[in-house]
Every structure is written in C-alpha cells, then in structure tokens.
Structure 1
Amino acid sequence: MNTARLLDVAISGNFESLNREIRDGVLISLEHKTPSRNCILHVAAKSGQAQIMERVLDSLYPHSPLYATNCKGNTALHIAASLGHLGISELLITCATDQEAEVKQLLLKAQNEELNTALHLAVKHGHDDIVDLLIRKEPDFVRKMLDKFPNAIMKADVFGWTPPHYAAYFGNFEVVRLFSENNNISLAYERDIQGMSALHNSAMEGHCDVMSAIIEKFPYTCELLDNRGRTALHLAAESGRTKAVKILLSSLAFQDLINEQENDEGNTAMHLDAIKRR
C-alpha cells in the first residue's frame, strides 16, 4: 500500500479510489504523516466525507490513538469540529467510545496549542450542531469530569470562556444544573475577557430556564457587571428577550439594579429598549 497515495486519495474525498488503495484485510497505521504531522485521521477529517472517515476507522490497527495530534496540537476531532463536519465528529466519538471510556475522555478534553478543545472550536466557528453533539449529548461525561477533575472545568479558552459560559450561551440546562450542583461558587462568578458571566450569556440569548437555575443557586450573580458596566438585564433588554427581562425584574437580588447605568452612554435597560423602540 502506497502511504503517500493513500493520504492523497483520502483528502480528495474520492471513496472509490480510497477503497482501491485499502485492500480488504489491510490495516492502516497512524505513523505515516504529512509535513504538518497530519495522519490519515486528520486527512480524512479534512475531506468532509463521512464514508471516507468510516472506511479509515474500520481499517485502523486496533487501539490506534484517535486523539493523535498534528503540529498544532489538533486531533482529527478538532479539525472536524472547526470545519463543521458533524457526521465525521459523530464517527470519531463513537469509535472512541467503542474502544474504551478513557479514549473517549482523552479525545473530548484534548487541547491544542491554543488551549482549545473541539468544543471551543465548534463554538468559535458557529457550528451549533456539533456543539450540541459535544456538550448537550454528553452530560455523563461532564459529570465525570466534575467528579474527577474539579479544577479542569475552570480552565478558560483564549476568549476567557469556561464550559459554564458555553452551556449558558447555548441554553444547556442539564449541563448548567450539573455545574450548579458542584457547589463551586467561583464557577458562576467567572467572567470572560469582556467581563461576561454565564448569567450574562444566558440573558443575552433568552434562555430562561438556565437563568432561573443560576439565579436560584447563586443570586448575587445578578450584581456582576461586564467591562462596559452592563448587568444581565442590559443584555436581555438590548437583545429583546422579553421573558428574560421579566425573570430578572422579578428576582429579589435584582431589585436595586433595575436602573443601573452602563459605562459608555449611561443607559439603563429601559433606555436601551426605548432606543430600539420596544
């Protein structure tokens, strides 16, 4: 089997050509790599063709490290998540799960040189379906991470976002509930590089169940201001999230903050609504 040819046909996305290169019973090694240290998994992920990845995974040597990294520290899952290849992401996670639980955990929590996990990249590039796959459908993984690595969930990416920021932004009530059950108060009060907390994120997106869960467990998150001096109410009002505004207005912890003014223009939440003619 010509390894260089195999890498070429994999990236081309030509399934028939790949089948000709991989003869029945022939196993593929991850040792052969491109100048950027991409192995066949990385190349298959780039192709965007789920059947290419499926054929590669079926032909790998047993227990091949699915979390193998390239020169930038990216796994194949990093690449699939950043490019929006949902089917390939599902195949990688399923294959890792079939090997053993530890392989799945190593794949999901792997960080590249910029400290991004596959989840970070899916969010960064706006691939909501992959975010759903990585976080919404993996609550057991999140729970195990909380139990085994309580400090790991505080690690932020280059934007200062922690897993609670992502869960709140996408309205993942189950994951937010797991974080709140952890009783780590600093989780709720952690802010990103713009000063935004998980409550800010959920209010901006109008995820009322998530907001209620955060406020009930950590009521004084209502007092958090972002770098522009905005409360969660400012964000909810500015985004036109009527139900979110109602929740904040009814919260006892928010009663003295209703007329809080932001730094830039001195606007209250009502000013922002008036400006947008709501």
Structure 2
Amino acid sequence: MDLSLYRAAIEGKVDIIRQHMTNLEHQLTPNNNTVLHVAAMFGNTECANEILRYSPSLSCRVNIQDDTPLHIAARNGCSGIVEALVKCTTIDEEWVGAGKEMLRMLNKENDTPLHEAVRNCRFDAVKLLVEEDPDFSCPANKAEETPLYLASEKGYDKLVSLILETCTEPAYNGPDDLHGWTPLHFAARFGYASIVNQLLEADKSLGYIADNDDKNTALHIAAGHGHIDVMREFFEHCPDCCEMVNASGRNFLHIAVEHDQTRATGYILGQCAIVISLINQKDIHGNTPLHLLATSSYPALRLISHSGADTNAFNKANLTPMDDSFLLPI
C-alpha cells in the first residue's frame, strides 16, 4: 500500500485519501488489508465514510483472515464505522443487496461480525448489528460458539438481554465438546442469575438439557457450585426439572451434598414442596443424599434430623447412612 495512503488512514487525514480515490481498489497491505480495513483498525470514521462514498465495494473485501472491514470495526468497537458500513449498503442502490451478505460473512474462524462484537463486549456495535438483521439465526463458528453462547459464557448480561429481545430466532446451542454445555450451563456454573433468568424466560426447555459426559443439567451445575440465586430461577421457571438425575442417578440435592455446599444444601432443605421427593432418592449405587454425607464435611445434623429423611435406608452395599463402617463407593 502506498505509504502516504496508509498513514492517512491511520492518522485520519481525509484530504490525502481523496488524492488516491481513483486507485483505492488496488491498494493492499501484505495481509491483503484495504485502506478501509486500515481505517477500521484505527477507528477513523471520517476516513471510512469518505472511502465508502467513492468505493463502496471495499465494504465486502476480505483480508488474509477473511475479515471484512465490518469484522474489524465490530471487534474493535468502532460503532461509528459499523454504522457507516451498514448505511452504505442500505443507501447506495447498487449495493442494497449486499447489506445482509456483509452482515453474515464468515471469516476463517467462521465468525460473523456479530461474534466479534459480542466476544469483545462491544454493546453499541452489537445493537447496530442485531437491529439491522434481527431475523438472522447466527450460526456457530468453528469452535461451535454462537453469539448468545459467548455472551452467556462471559457473563455479559446486557448483551444476552439485547440478543434475546431483538433477534427473532437466536441460536441457543454451544460447543459440542467434552462437556456439551449450553449457554445455560455456563451461566449456572458462574452464578450469572440474571442471565439464567433471561434464558429460561426465553426458552424454559433449556432447563431440561443435560450435558454429554455426566448428564448434568444446569441445575446440577448450580447446586454443585452453591449458587442459590441461580437455583431460585429454576424453581421459578421450571420447578419440575428438579426431578432430573444425572448419569449416576443423582438429583441436585445429591450434588450439593457431594460438593460440600453447606448453604445450598440448607436452602434446598428449606424448599418443602421439592425436598420430599429428593431426600430419600437413591442413585445408581443405592445411595441417598444422606449416604453421601459419609464423604462430605457438611454438618449432618440438619439433614439427618429432617422429618422426611430415612436414616435406615439401605444402599446396594447393604449399608445405611448411620453405619459407622460406611464407605461410599466411587
């Protein structure tokens, strides 16, 4: 790329850019960045507007990573340039059809500009993108991440809300990895109660999805990490998911006890309508939550003294929770 043009795009010198208007299409950096890419990198909105006036076709040009200028502007949070790019394809008759194509273009990681904006928590850029194309059910990238998944995993509750409120069909899926966690699993893991609330309000069926390995639901995950505020959201939106057990046959009370979550266990025991069906439920080894106390540091008295607890329940090793010789099989 011509040195004076490159510097002009970096420093925002529009007058110098005008001197190169007849040759912009062929000016490239070693990574195939156009002058519009460079303006987006450095957030020079005035330069971007001027370039788009004369060469709107540069809006869809890709660099060596298949990034468009919109990918770069969204990643860097240059909302002025994001807006300029969106307006360019809606105002210029020749490029009206390219608008949605540009918004949906994938780079080499299969990221859309929306992925980039969400990953870097660029609220204004996300707002512009989803409002311009609300019907786009954004696909997962190579890492199987959707924008909603990224926002949930990172705890960006305002972005979760924006996506759920604006997009007509947001994709809820997440990576098909060793865990197979959904956005709800991640929100539950990190205690993002506000995000859990929004996800369940949008689609309560998410509360019944188990992961790939241990078949834990998001409620199991919340119980294992002691997130009481998150558990409340499940009781409010899908209370019957409390009945679900994981691959070991354990309900979420089992999990809270197993992971020494004292406060969470106490909270669950206070939910009278729920705890009756959980407190004596046996896992695949025949162990009730009481049996798990044998390997837990949880103060046993409250659980043992609960009116519904069967302290004489036998597991498959023919042991009760009260046996001094009890050793939990793992």
TM-score (norm 1): 0.71
Question: Which one of the candidate residues 128, 131, 134 is aligned to 1:133?
Answer: 128
Question: Which one of the candidate residues 237, 240, 243 is aligned to 1:256?
Answer: 243
User: CA–CA distance in 1 between the matches of 2:267 and 2:142?
Assistant: 32
Comparing both structures, which one devotes a greater share of its residues to helix?
1
5+ unaligned residues in a row in structure 2: which ranges? 245-250, 269-296, 298-330
Question: Which one of the candidate residues 59, 64, 73 is aligned to 1:71?
Answer: 64
Give the match for residue 264 of structure 2. Answer: 270
CA contact (8 A) 2:52 2:59 kept: no
> Any residues of structure 2 matched to 1:1-278 within 5 Å, and which?
3-11=2-10, 13-15=11-13, 18-23=14-19, 26-27=21-22, 29-58=24-53, 60-61=54-55, 63-99=56-92, 100-135=95-130, 137-138=131-132, 141-143=133-135, 145=136, 153=138, 155-166=139-150, 170-171=160-161, 172-175=163-166, 178-179=168-169, 188=172, 191-193=175-177, 194-201=179-186, 203=188, 204-205=191-192, 206-207=194-195, 208-215=197-204, 218=205, 221-225=207-211, 230-234=216-220, 238=225, 242=229, 244-250=230-236, 251-257=238-244, 259=252, 266=259, 270=264
User: CA–CA distance in 2 between the matches of 1:92 and 1:31?
Assistant: 20
Instruction: Extract structure 1 runs of 4+ deviating beyond 6 A.
Output: 272-275
User: CA–CA distance in 2 between the matches of 1:110 and 1:27?
Assistant: 27
Count of residue pairs brought into register by the alignment: 245
Deviation at 1:44, TM superposition (A): 0.8
Deviation at 1:166, TM superposition (A): 4.8
User: CA–CA distance in 1 between the matches of 2:17 and 2:198?
Assistant: 52
Aligned CA distance change for structure 1 residues 272 and 98 (closer, same or farther; 3 Å): farther
User: CA–CA distance in 1 between the matches of 2:76 and 2:112?
Assistant: 14
User: CA–CA distance in 1 between the matches of 2:267 and 2:116?
Assistant: 33
Aligned CA distance change for structure 1 residues 82 and 260 (closer, same or farther; 3 Å): farther
Deviation at 1:39, TM superposition (A): 0.8
- Secondary structure of 1:64's match? helix
User: CA–CA distance in 1 between the matches of 2:49 and 2:125?
Assistant: 18
CA contact (8 A) 1:167 1:175 kept: no
Deviation at 1:73, TM superposition (A): 0.6
Give the match for residue 184 of structure 1. Answer: none
% identical aligned pairs: 24
User: CA–CA distance in 2 between the matches of 1:239 and 1:7?
Assistant: 54
User: CA–CA distance in 2 between the matches of 1:125 and 1:255?
Assistant: 35
CA contact (8 A) 1:191 1:198 kept: no
User: CA–CA distance in 1 between the matches of 2:125 and 2:74?
Assistant: 6
User: CA–CA distance in 1 between the matches of 2:69 and 2:217?
Assistant: 39
User: CA–CA distance in 1 between the matches of 2:41 and 2:226?
Assistant: 36
5+ unaligned residues in a row in structure 1: which ranges? 147-152, 181-186
Aligned letter for 1:71?
A: I
User: CA–CA distance in 2 between the matches of 1:122 and 1:158?
Assistant: 17
Deviation at 1:227, TM superposition (A): 5.5
TM-score (norm 2): 0.61
Aligned CA distance change for structure 1 residues 256 and 108 (closer, same or farther; 3 Å): same
Aligned letter for 1:9?
A: A
